[in-house]
Structure formats: C-alpha cells, structure tokens
Amino acid sequence: MEYKIIQGDCLEVMKDIPDKSVDLVLTDPLYGIGAGKEKPHNGWKDYGMNDWDNKSPSKEYFKEIFRISKNQIIWGGNYFIDYLCPSMGWIVWDKGQRDFSLADGELAWTSFQKALRIFTVARSKALRDTKQHPTQKSLEVIELCIKYADRALGEEVKTICDPFLGSGTTAVACQNLKRNFIGIEISKEYCAIAEQRLRQEPLL
C-alpha cells in the first residue's frame, strides 16, 4: 500500500492531482463555526489552537474535491449545503450520549445515492485513540465510512484522499484497511502527528 502525507494548503496541492484519480475523498473540513474559541469544560482539553475554525473552505475547495475524486464522504455536510448536490446517502454519527454539552451526533454528506445510515459509536472512543485534535473523530467511525463506501460501490475502495487531514485518523484507517492514501494538511505540526500515528499503528 502507498501512503503519502503532504504539508500545504489543499486547494493548491489538489491542483496537481489528476481528474478522477482518487476513488474516494473522505474528509472533515473546517466548519467555520468558531469551535476553537470554546473554553474547555467538563474535562475537555484545550488544544491551544483557538483560531483554527474561524472560517470554512470556499466553493473552490469543493470544486477541486469533486474534480479529483469519483466519490465523496464529507463530514459537516450540513454546513456546506450550498456547495453540495441533493443526496440520499447521508451518514449520521450517533455519539451514544444525550444532553451533553456538545452535539448528540454529526452528519456526513455522501455522493452515494443509497439509504441513510446511522453509526452508533461512543464519543469517548476518540479519546481512547489518543485524541490530539479538537474535532478528531474516532478511528472506528472513519473505518465504518470506508466500509460503507465499499458496500455502496460493491467493491473495495482502492485510493482515498483526505484534504483536511488534521491528526491523521483517515490515514490510520486506510493503513488498517490496506488502502492507498493521500493526506493533505496545512499544519506542519499535525502532519508530524499523523506520520507518528502511522508509524505506531500496526498493519492488520
């Protein structure tokens, strides 16, 4: 399997990726809701990056995502409906806990015209994965996304790209499931964290 992590603005990096050369973009972009400004509470950690979610990606980022990939799963799709076409295939992440200080669940838009699916995975699993990013999803959630895409296509997805890599959970999921992977992350520090996680995670 091939794994590549590129440090840079994904809008510029994606311009060097050929049309439809990626089977699946699986990503969790910035939502632009100022999440980084929330003060730590109820045991939540301050990751020291208070301005990381000040604005969301522009339409140009999504145009590049659709150009380079055949299929897409985009977390926070409810924040980007102006850039996405209607789809049946939404994914709901049920975090298994109600009336917590944060959301009970999250939504991912997908390009698959398949029935909506719900993944019930405890929010605490991201902490057990050694959480290092404020919005890091659990490894199980991301692996379920890849398996969902496999079922929707009727075959294994071979090459996956995450243009907003963060701390590298998508990279680790691809390593575990033996898929080729391209990760793009603007932060040098998070690129280093993602590479470290890849070195520490054994191949299954």
Q: What is the rounded distance in angstroms from the CA atom of residue 34 to the CA atom of residue 16? A: 30
Tens of pLDDT, residue by residue over 65-83, are 999 999 999 999 999 999 9
Render pLDDT for 99-129 as a digit per residue (tens, 0 to 9): 877 789 999 999 999 999 999 999 877 566 6
Residue 18 predicted with pLDDT over 90: yes
Straight-line distance from the first to the last Cα atom of the chain, in angstroms, rounded to the nearest whole number: 12
pLDDT of residue 73: 98
pLDDT at 34: 54
Those residues whose C-beta lies under 8 Å from the C-beta of residue 109, and which sit 6 or more positions away, are 72, 73, 74, 77, 78, 80, 84, 87, 89, 90
Sign of the CA dihedral running 124, 203, 163, 166: positive
Residue 43's pLDDT is: 44
**Which pLDDT does position 40 carry in this prediction?**
52
CATH for 3-33+53-200 is 3.40.50.150
Q: What is the mean pLDDT of residues 190-202?
A: 86
**Mean pLDDT within 157-165:** 98
Q: Is the pLDDT reported for residue 94 higher than 70?
A: yes
Window from 21-25, 109-113, 197-201 with minimum mean pLDDT: 197-201
pLDDT higher than 50, residue 204: no
pLDDT averaged over every residue in the chain: 87
